[in-house]
Structure formats: C-alpha cells, structure tokens
C-alpha cells in the first residue's frame, strides 16, 4: 500500500495508542463520498448519502496517475473504517520569479466533531505536503478560517488585497477610445484569458490557466443575472473586462467565494476605459461599483475622486514553502552575494536545515546544505511569503518568528516586494 502512512512521533500531542491507530491515505474515486460526508457534518451542510455514493461509482484509479488529476483527497482514519478528517489538495502550475512551479492549494479541511483536537487534521496536512514534496512542488497556499491555526502547519499570511467600493459618479469619465461589447453565453471567452495573462504575467503565485474560468462555460450567466463586458482597443486587442451582477444597489465585480465575478485590465487605459463605460451605462441603475484587486495594483491615482469611496484590506490567503531548497534555487536575487538561512518546518523534516544560497547576476543560484551559523532563522511560512514578494526586508523587524543573526547579510537582495497573488479559489 504505497500511499498508506503510519504516523508516529510526528503527531505531537497524541498518545501512543492514538498514534499507533492513526493512518492517512488518499481516497480512491469510489470513496470520495466519505470525505464529502465529513465535510457536510463539519460545515453543517446537507448530504444525500445515496446520491453521493452513486456519483462516486465506477471510474478507474491508478496510484501512479492519480497525481495528474486536478486534486487529491487525503483522509485520516482512527479506529473505525471511515475517515475522521479530510482535506483536498488541489494541484496547480503557478508562476514564481520567471519560473513555473507546482503549487498545492489546500481546501475542504474538515474533521468530525468527536475527533477534533486529536491530531487528525495535522496528520492529513503532513502527508499531503509530503506528497507535494515528493512530486517536486515548491509552494502551497490556503484560505484560512483562522490564521493562528494554520501557522502551526508552517503557513504565513499572503499579500494584502483591497476591496474597493466606489460611487458611480466618482468613476472616470471621458473618451478613452476603443469599444465595449457584451459577451453572451456561447461566445468566445479567449479575450478574458488574454487579459488575465497580461495582468498576472509577472505575478508570483498566479496560476497558469487554459481558460479564464471553466465555470463560465458550464453555467448560464443570464439565469444568474451576471453579465460580461469587454473593452477592446482600436486594433481589437482585449484590454479590460468585468463579470458583474447586482448586489442590492451595488454593481458587484469582486472575485471571492461569495461572488465569482471579476475585473481585470492590461493597463491604466483599460482600467479607466471600462470604468468610464460602467459610469455611463449604469449611473442610473446602481449607487456604487465593487471590485477587489491585489494591493500592488495602485489604481487610486486613476480615480478622479477618492473622498467618498470605501476601501478595505484583507489577506489573500496564506502561503508556505514546500521545498525550501528548490525555492531558493529559483528565487530572483539582486546582484551578487551569499546568504545563509536556517529553515524551520513543523511538518516536513526535509526542510529543517541550514542552506547556503549563493547568487550571481546572470547565473543560476547555487544552494547547498551546510553546518554553520545562519544569517537568518525563519519558518517555511515566512520564507515562502518573503521569497514570493509579500514583504520587504524592512518588515523583518515586525516578524517575531524571524531572527536575524547577521544584519550585514545581503537580506535586501533576496527579500524584496514583488507582485504576488493567489488567483484560484479552493
């Protein structure tokens, strides 16, 4: 049983009898209803046992090919034959400093009430991350119900995003050229993917997509009263789009778990042109427009009036390094230098080491494990966030989990702000 793991000393806080009985493995396709049952109980959702079992019938399964599927369901088993906890590890290819790396997106984390605080979720998380490490993936991300809870698993806060709500009358107005057209069900949605790739082409953690959003191909947006508007320049090149629906007096264009809409643009002109159209077309229909963007998208100067708008900040999930050595080998450093880091990982022993990073402009990074005093000590969450560009080196003074041993080390050449944003919902 290649993917069954008996967990011992790694499960801190468990008695010996509990550890001996705890096992974690991937669920086979015909078993997925068991994970959905745990999730339904944990999240107080409805569940039709017969229907879910029928959905999971048939379907071949190959352990070697399982990773190529879009997601793996991991489950922890206690004394019984049914799982007491589960999670879903979604597999993506994401951008990182000019490279493409594997990103594991954690979702659907759930445990039965009678089995909580017994280490089952930790066991699932540990083996799911080990699966990513064995496959060569470099990063993992999740959207937490509690940041403190997931810090115990080596995650740290991601970049800040901002939720904007702007009065219709305060949007840009004027002639920005080009044209706006509405896309109806069945029309080509490739322009949306083109704008997505232009907006995120140098953004760490953004996922490579084949289509902008498969949901748009599967759902009838007209029935949901959601609409797509695309702005194109004089050459017919797509420059901005929005997917919008009504939320009371608000034209809602945000993308989150409650509203899978969207608003993206190639540049400042696209931003202003589409919002100018929205002002002109919907001034009498809505009071405000709402959209969410990464904090690094500094669009405030493009708005003619900012005094009456609302702007809230929130974290774009949490992130951690899965393979420290690989991530250091790929990170983009400035100039030439050597930095020695000690990584601490609560779940993956493979990452608990001192690494010497040698970098020289125009050549590949060199990374080796060494036995020497590090310049800096930090966890996998802080390391992942810093390398992805969430923080500048100045933020280290406010990070109690990070200890700088050598202030003269080239920290600012390795840790500096970069565009980063987890683009998927999982």
Lowest mean pLDDT among 23-37, 44-58, 124-138: 44-58
Tell me the pairing of strands 250-252 and 288-294: parallel
Alpha helices by DSSP H, 114-204: 120-135, 147-151, 190-200
Q: Tell me, what's the pLDDT at 201?
A: 96
Confidence band (pLDDT; 50, 70, 90) for 195?
very high
Q: Specify whether the CB–CB gap between 141 and 319 falls below 8 A.
A: yes
Fold of 318-414: Nonspecific Lipid-transfer Protein; Chain A (3.30.1050)
Q: Specify whether the CB–CB gap between 321 and 384 falls below 8 A.
A: yes
* Phi, psi dihedral angles at 33 (to 5 degrees): -60, -25
How many CA atoms are closer than 13 Å to the CA of 216, on its beta-carbon side?
Answer: 23
Q: Specify whether the CB–CB gap between 138 and 323 falls below 8 A.
A: yes
Residue 65 predicted with pLDDT over 80: no
**Mean pLDDT along residues 350-361:** 98
Kindly list the domain boundaries of the chain, sorted by start residue: 4-137, 161-315, 318-414
Fold of 4-137: Aminopeptidase (3.40.630)
**Mean pLDDT along residues 197-201:** 98
For residues 416 and 196, give the distance between their C-alpha atoms in angstroms, rounded to a whole number.
Answer: 24
| Angle, CA of 111, 116 and 121, to the nearest 5° | 55
Q: Are 161-315 and 318-414 equal in CATH topology?
A: no
Q: Tell me, what's the pLDDT at 22?
A: 77
Q: What is the mean pLDDT of the chain?
A: 92
Superfamily of domain 161-315: Gcn5-related N-acetyltransferase (GNAT) (3.40.630.30)
* Phi, psi dihedral angles at 223 (to 5 degrees): -65, -35
Question: Tokens in use for 96?
Answer: 């990182």
Q: How many helices (H) and strands (E) does the chain have?
A: 12, 23
């Amino acid at each position: 049983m290649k993917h069954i793991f008996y967990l011992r000393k790694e499960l801190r806080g468990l008695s010996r009898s509990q550890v001996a009985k705890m096992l974690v493995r991937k669920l086979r396709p015909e078993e997925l209803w068991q994970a959905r049952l745990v999730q339904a109980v944990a999240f107080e959702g409805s569940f039709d046992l017969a229907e879910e079992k029928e959905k999971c019938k048939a379907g071949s399964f190959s352990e070697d090919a399982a990773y190529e599927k879009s997601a793996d369901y991991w489950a922890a088993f206690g004394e019984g034959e049914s799982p007491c906890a589960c999670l879903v590890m979604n597999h993506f290819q994401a951008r990182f400093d000019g490279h493409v790396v594997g990103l594991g997106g954690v979702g659907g984390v759930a445990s039965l009430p009678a089995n909580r605080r017994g280490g089952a979720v930790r066991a699932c998380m540990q083996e799911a991350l080990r699966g990513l490490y064995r496959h060569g993936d470099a990063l993992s991300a999740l959207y937490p119900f509690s940041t403190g809870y997931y810090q115990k698993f080596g995650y740290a806060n991601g970049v800040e995003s901002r939720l904007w709500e702007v009065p219709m009358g305060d949007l840009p107005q004027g002639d920005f050229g080009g044209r706006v057209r509405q896309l109806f069900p069945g029309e080509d949605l490739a322009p949306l993917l083109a704008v997505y790739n232009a907006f995120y082409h140098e953004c760490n953690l953004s996922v490579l997509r084949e289509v902008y959003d498969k949901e748009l191909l599967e759902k009838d947006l007209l029935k949901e009263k959601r609409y797509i508007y695309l702005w194109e320049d004089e050459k017919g090149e797509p420059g901005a789009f929005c997917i919008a629906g009504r939320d009371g007096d608000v034209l809602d264009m945000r993308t989150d778990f409650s509203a899978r809409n969207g608003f993206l643009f190639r540049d400042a002109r696209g931003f202003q042109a589409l919002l100018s159209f929205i002002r002109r077309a919907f001034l009498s229909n809505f009071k405000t427009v709402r959209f969410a963007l990464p904090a690094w998208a500094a669009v405030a100067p493009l708005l003619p009036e900012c005094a009456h708008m609302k702007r809230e900040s929130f974290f774009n999930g949490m992130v951690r390094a899965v393979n420290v050595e690989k991530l250091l080998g790929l990170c983009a450093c400035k100039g030439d230098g050597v930095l020695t880091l000690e990584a601490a990982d609560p779940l993956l022993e493979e990452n608990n080491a001192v690494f010497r990073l040698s970098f020289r402009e125009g050549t590949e990074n060199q990374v080796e494990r060494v036995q020497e005093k590090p310049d800096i000590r930090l966890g996998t969450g802080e390391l992942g966030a810093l390398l992805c560009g969430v923080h500048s080196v100045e933020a280290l003074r406010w990070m109690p989990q990070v200890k700088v041993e050598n202030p003269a080390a080239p920290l600012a050449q390795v840790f500096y702000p970069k565009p980063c944003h987890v683009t998927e919902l999982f």
